[in-house]
Structure 1
Amino acid sequence: MFANLGNKIGPLLTGVGFTFLLAWIGYGLAFLPGMTQVGPLATSILIAVLYRHFFGYPHSIHTGIQFSAKKLLRIAIVLFGLKLNIDVILNEGVPLLLRDLLVILFAIGVMMLLAYLFKADRSISLLIGVGTGICGASAIAAVSPILKAKEEDTAISVGIISFIGTVFALIYTGLRPFLPLDAEAYGMWAGLSLHEIANVVLAGEPAGEKGLAMALLAKLGRVFLLIPVSLIIIWIMGRKGNKESDNRVDFPWFLVGFIVMSLLGSYVLGFYIPAPEQFANVVSAVTSFILTMAMVGLGVNISLHDLRNKAIKPIVAVVITSILLSIVSYTIL
């Protein structure tokens, strides 16, 4: 019995350790000069893809890799809920949420239209559309289990959204001095249109404290809408499941955890933790590292041959979508 237990625990721990090691290397490389804007997610996925290409898939530790890719992914999404201050969003009111909703619908709609026109991979295009509209890699990680997306499609989508989001954040930073916008209007534009929270911080900092605060507020409204968007996707998948009995969607309980953590972070923890900001920073760092480990687990499933065949058209589509989204969000300021 103990031998069988050891045969199961060994590959599990080794596989998790493998993803930890590659994530740690990715984090280290992401802090090197010239790499800081790329971020640890994209860096770690690239390392995982290169490992798969040169050394093959490590089948002997498959159990642990799958644990990181699936279980740790859900844990990261639950912890991500602590970053969402629901009270701030609700106090800002309906106008901001309406703008955020328009951005999400526009991004997903345009992305899927372009995917249809370009005959791009629909799964990857939908994941990227959700990431573009809501909150980048975190949104992709949240909806991929609901959509029953392939692990390699999830990793490809995260890699693309991380890279494109960084490029657009740098473009925004360069455009900032030439735009006829005050700090708060520029911050709202960045928050409404950029992909990742990290992208919003990068582009919003040149606008000062007021600009950055408005950027984060607009972005948090989009994060808040991840909840209803996920519920709508569950409903759509459920309807499909009724027609196709083998396609029923399991309720994503990790989404409940995300909501609970959001409520705790918004209304409870600040009253009982002596240094809530320091606590939030620690949780944010842990969440990012766990998510990076999950991305390594997903990235090992990508072959460069598949990446070349499946990613080119979605990349073109997301670049066009991001440009159009920047224009549309600018007009609704």
Structure 2
Amino acid sequence: MPVKTNLIKLAYIILLGLCITPLMGPGVALVVGAAFAIILGNPYTEFSQSASKWLLKAAVIGLGFAVDFNQVIEVGRSSLVLTIVSITAIIGLGEILTQVFKLNRNTGVLISFGTAICGGSAIAAMAPVIKAKDHEVAVALGVVFLLNGVGLLLFPTIGHYLNLTQEQFGLWAALAIHDTSSVVGASATYGALALSIATTVKLTRAMWIIPYTTMAGVFWRSEEKASIPLFIVGFLAAALINTYLPDYSSIWSALNSVAKQVLVVTLFLIGSGLSLSVLRQAGVKPFIMATLLWIIVSGVILLLILDGFI
């Protein structure tokens, strides 16, 4: 048994090392990590969970060094109405589906909020505001995590099949995929322009965590306050530096390249966090509800993009 365990640990380390090289792409890293965890088990569960959170934040900040700060401001300004309407509509639809499937109220709210804004970050911010229990948070995160993996693999395939431009795909990925990690991973496989647009739109959208959790606090009469994730501030700072200090563009480009490789490592770690216990814990009804909500949202957004409405 110790020999087998050591071999599994060695194989995990080797695959993790490959993620540092150009041999492993974002989508492949996620799939390999998930397959390894489901078949052999993750020998470094605590490490992968902790490291993936910090590395994702670092990667997102680094990606900001390829973004024009003025573009971030323009995206936020031009998409103001779309953002408010879409987030509110998704949360409202989620509430209806929660009632239809007779789900636990808090679980339904967390899934809806995660779908509407930015997956795990939104769920983590909303949970204390609505006083969600640990198992309710775990179920919501588990369901969203599974759909993130599906989205990362499925969206680029659909995008190529429909001949979406990089601008169209970046926008669709940012509005329809839950977590920032999967948005960045899917768009990175589609193209550099798609990655830039998707990252900018997603992180601009993520800033709406604060007003929506504040409103939720009023309804739930909660004293808990959510704060804006610091990695979003870091991303904006990196974009600001890239825009107004162009003389050092070679340095910013190098940091951005490092960030892209860090993202590959992060996606492997996130994938290796998947397990049969997570699948079982999520349950059938929350998964069906979340999947139906996600299909409706991503389908409607895709149609609006194809028709030129957004």
Answer whether TM exceeds 0.5 for this pair: yes
1:199 alignment partner in structure 2: 186
Q: Do structure 1's residue 306 and structure 2's residue 306 form an aligned pair? A: no
* Structure 2 residue matching 1:119: 3-state secondary structure: coil
Structure 1 Cα separation of the partners of residues 266 and 205 of structure 2: 23
Q: Do structure 1's residue 24 and structure 2's residue 20 form an aligned pair? A: no
Q: Do structure 1's residue 166 and structure 2's residue 142 form an aligned pair? A: no
* Structure 1 residue matching 2:238: 3-state secondary structure: helix
Distance 1:320 1:70, change over 3 A: same
Shift of 1:305: 3.1
Structure 2 Cα separation of the partners of residues 201 and 160 of structure 1: 18
Distance 1:74 1:121, change over 3 A: farther
120, 133, 136: which is aligned to 1:141? 120
1:83 alignment partner in structure 2: 63
91, 97, 102: which is aligned to 1:119? 102
288, 297, 304: which is aligned to 1:321? 297
Structure 1 Cα separation of the partners of residues 305 and 113 of structure 2: 16
CA RMSD of aligned residues (A): 4.4
Shift of 1:98: 3.5
Distance 1:295 1:235, change over 3 A: farther
Structure 2 Cα separation of the partners of residues 162 and 216 of structure 1: 20
1:280 alignment partner in structure 2: 256
Structure 2 spans left out of the alignment, 5+ residues? 1-5, 128-135, 178-182
Q: Do structure 1's residue 232 and structure 2's residue 188 form an aligned pair? A: no
Structure 2 Cα separation of the partners of residues 237 and 71 of structure 1: 31
Deviation track 1:29-56 (CA, whole Å, cap 9, x = no partner) reads: xx78xxx78543354245434456xxxx
Q: How does 1:231-270 map to 2 (within 5 A)?
A: 231-236=210-215, 238-239=217-218, 242-243=221-222, 249=224, 251=226, 255=229, 257-268=230-241
Structure 1 Cα separation of the partners of residues 301 and 116 of structure 2: 9
Deviation track 1:260-307 (CA, whole Å, cap 9, x = no partner) reads: 31233112257346332221121232244245435544x358344334
Structure 1 Cα separation of the partners of residues 107 and 18 of structure 2: 23
The residue type equivalent to 2:126 in the other structure is L
Q: Do structure 1's residue 40 and structure 2's residue 29 form an aligned pair? A: yes
Shift of 1:94: 2.5
Instruction: Calculate percent identity across the aligned residue pairs.
Output: 13
Structure 2 Cα separation of the partners of residues 19 and 237 of structure 1: 45
Structure 2 Cα separation of the partners of residues 275 and 306 of structure 1: 45
TM-score for both structures, normalised by structure 1: 0.63
Structure 2 Cα separation of the partners of residues 240 and 330 of structure 1: 37
* Structure 1 residue matching 2:163: 3-state secondary structure: helix
Structure 1 spans left out of the alignment, 5+ residues? 1-13, 59-63, 178-182, 206-211
The residue type equivalent to 2:258 in the other structure is V
TM-score for both structures, normalised by structure 2: 0.67
